[in-house]
Homo-oligomer: A and B are copies of this chain.
Amino acid sequence: MIDQRLLPGEYREVSFSSYVQVAEAIQQMVVRGAPAIGASAAYGMALAAYTSTASDILAFKDEMFKAREVLLRARPTAANLTWAIDRMLQVFENSEPGNIDDLRQTMLEQAQLIADQDVQINKEMASHGAKLMGDNETVIHHCNTGALATVDWGTALGVIRMAHEQGKNPHVLVDETRPRLQGARLTAWELEQYGISYEIITDNAAGFFLSSGIIDRVLVGADRVAANGDVANKIGTYMLALAARDNQVPFFVVSPTSTVDLSLQDGNQIPIEERDPGEVLRIQFLGARVAPEGARARNPAFDVTPHRLITGIVTENGVVYPPFEVHLRQAVIAGEH
């Protein structure tokens, strides 16, 4: 993994040899972004398989389900975590279990497949999304949804990247995304490398630019999408969606169907992770304290944007429009054929 906590100051790749380390890396946000978390958890499961000392299939299966619990606990909101892990555990459902070495091999191949498919799915989403965009659009983007948040290419940022490659010359206002500054640190770092025009803004300035009439579109990713189209995404997405709606600016979510959780009727049922208050009280990765000694903080990592504020959801199976309750299910099923 690239240690995303250190960017843009330092580029460092890190390796792990156990699923517990992978779970810690997910929890501490060495790796982040729903699709990247999913793929990392898949490799975590493969590591669990290869480091297992179980001598029979039943004991091995027990260990794999124990690993599942440890990895799931790392981040409660991202749907891709459950999705990827449960896809890894399908080895126990398919036909003959075979021997442990076969299962290990199958699980590693499955993890590699999840990673490879993620890149392909991202490019399909980017292609659908870029069709929506005209020339010279100014787009507001929240958090980081680029190559760093996925296996490669990106979701919302992938759409912008595709539009850029198509010569559409997008300009991005990058929400800095407090508290961890994924926009100012990671998205800006990616855009620098792609040669895409951008300016960083504070999250609370998005409303100013939306009401000024210069914004053509808002593009965000997702951490979990409920069956009715309510979207849990990085904290601040809801306020951004409100400001887009108040100014009639199209608001699109770019998210693979692996992020859709059809088991949840609406966004109220999505568990919202609350992280260490220290992320608010200090500036992450600088370690410097901004608040007075003794200060307390709250730090919800996500919020829920009601589907009524969302123009469309770009998936690898096409752009989904309201009524989301009907069309989202169709898009998910389309991918299962």
Whether, in the assembled complex, A14 has its beta carbon less than 8 Å from a beta carbon of chain B, the answer is no
- Which one, B173, B188, B208, B236, contacts A205 given CB within 8 A? B236
Interface SS majority for chain A: mixed
Q: Mark A283-319, 1 if CB is under 8 A from B, else 0.
A: 1001010111111111110111000000000000000
- Cα distance A289–B77 in the bound complex, in angstroms: 30
Chain B residues whose C-beta falls within 8 Å of the C-beta of A198 in the assembled complex: 295-296
Whether, in the assembled complex, A189 has its beta carbon less than 8 Å from a beta carbon of chain B, the answer is yes
> Taking the nearest CB of chain B, how far is it from the CB of A155, in angstroms?
19
Whether, in the assembled complex, A181 has its beta carbon less than 8 Å from a beta carbon of chain B, the answer is yes
Given the known inter-chain contacts A178-B203, A298-B201, A303-B205, please indicate yes or no for A290 contacting B238, CB distance below 8 A.
Answer: no
- Cα distance A257–B30 in the bound complex, in angstroms: 51
- Cα distance A236–B299 in the bound complex, in angstroms: 18
Interface residue count on the A side (C-beta < 8 Å):
55
Whether, in the assembled complex, A264 has its beta carbon less than 8 Å from a beta carbon of chain B, the answer is no
Contact A283 B283 (CB under 8 A): yes
- Cα distance A203–B280 in the bound complex, in angstroms: 10
Whether, in the assembled complex, A136 has its beta carbon less than 8 Å from a beta carbon of chain B, the answer is no
- Which one, B8, B173, B211, B303, contacts A207 given CB within 8 A? B303
- Cα distance A176–B178 in the bound complex, in angstroms: 10
Q: Mark A193-236, 1 if CB is under 8 A from B, else 0.
A: 00000111111111111010000000000000000000000011
Contact B304 A211 (CB under 8 A): yes
Sampled A-B contacts (12; CB under 8 Å): A177-B204, A185-B292, A188-B291, A192-B292, A200-B297, A202-B299, A205-B299, A206-B239, A211-B303, A239-B240, A283-B283, A286-B286
